Amino acid sequence: MTNIKRIAFKDTEIPNADTLATLVESIQLVKKRSPNLDPQLSGLIDNLPSPRQIKREFSVEECNVLYETVGYLWKELTGQDYISQQSKRPAPETLQGNYWMMNDGLLLHGVNHFSIIKQNSSLFATLLNINPMVMQEYLSAPPNKLIGLVIRAGGIRIFISKEKKFFAQMTSETYGKWGRDKVRKYDFENKIVRIIDTKVPFKSWKSGIPIKL
């Protein structure tokens, strides 16, 4: 049996049930798309409760306990130690800078949008179903070409200014399926979403038709 190390988190860093369910969905998706995954990790993932059960039934204490296993799995799958910084949805007043949103709410934060993808390329390829060879090809291309690839695959590009102005770019498909609902939940006075045309080459933040939410 895999030896799971206890991961210490401050109480304020434990995700709520909805966020934890999203993390479990992402981990299960990684397993589904990784046929050569270590059998011990695969077994742990198989034993995770369903996202629906987490949302409907889990108490704060149960989320706390489950988060230790989820944190361990996330580190093993992505090589990242800062799961709480990536998966939490911080309070609106603490959000600032560059983010990618994937899988119905999973947030990744970084210095810029290109570097976030570059540092987490395997995770982006898996969660957005991008061919790894295509991802590698685009990693050596100009930044906007890689950013456009991720948006077309279902990622949401987000920037929040110091003045608390919210900007996002996504496809119309992502917007209709879940992007609009997620963006509306963020309490910012100024929110602009640009819907990009997948048939037109992506160029910059000016790409796409603006919608004010």
- Whole-number mean pLDDT of the chain? 82
* Residue 93 DSSP symbol: G
Q: What is the pLDDT of residue 170?
A: 97
Alpha-carbon distance of 152 to 135, in angstroms, equals 13
Alpha-carbon distance of 206 to 213, in angstroms, equals 17
Q: For the segment 77-133, what is each residue's pLDDT rounded down to a tens digit?
A: 776 653 444 444 444 556 789 999 987 677 888 889 999 998 888 888 888 889 989
Cα end-to-end distance, the chain, whole Å: 49
Average pLDDT over residues 134-157: 95
Q: Is the pLDDT of residue 176 over 70?
A: yes
Q: Return the residue matching tokens 């991008």.
A: 130
Residue 172 contacts residue 195 (beta carbons within 8 Å): yes
Q: Name the least confident of 6-15, 39-48, 101-110, 138-147.
A: 6-15
Please give the torsion angle defined by the CA atoms of residues 138, 144, 145 and 149, in that order, rounded to the nearest 10 degrees.
90
What are the contacts of 44-49 at 24+ separation with CB within 8 A?
44/2, 44/4, 44/69, 44/72, 44/73, 45/73, 48/24, 49/24
Q: Is the pLDDT of residue 28 over 50?
A: yes
Of 185, 210, 193, give the one whose Cα is nearest residue 95: 185
Q: What is the pLDDT of residue 148?
A: 96
Q: Is the pLDDT of residue 134 over 60?
A: yes
- Structure tokens, 195: 């819907």
Alpha-carbon distance of 25 to 172, in angstroms, equals 23
Average pLDDT over residues 13-37: 80
Q: Is the pLDDT of residue 196 over 90?
A: yes
Query: At 179, is the pLDDT very low, low, confident or very high (cuts 50, 70, 90)?
Result: very high
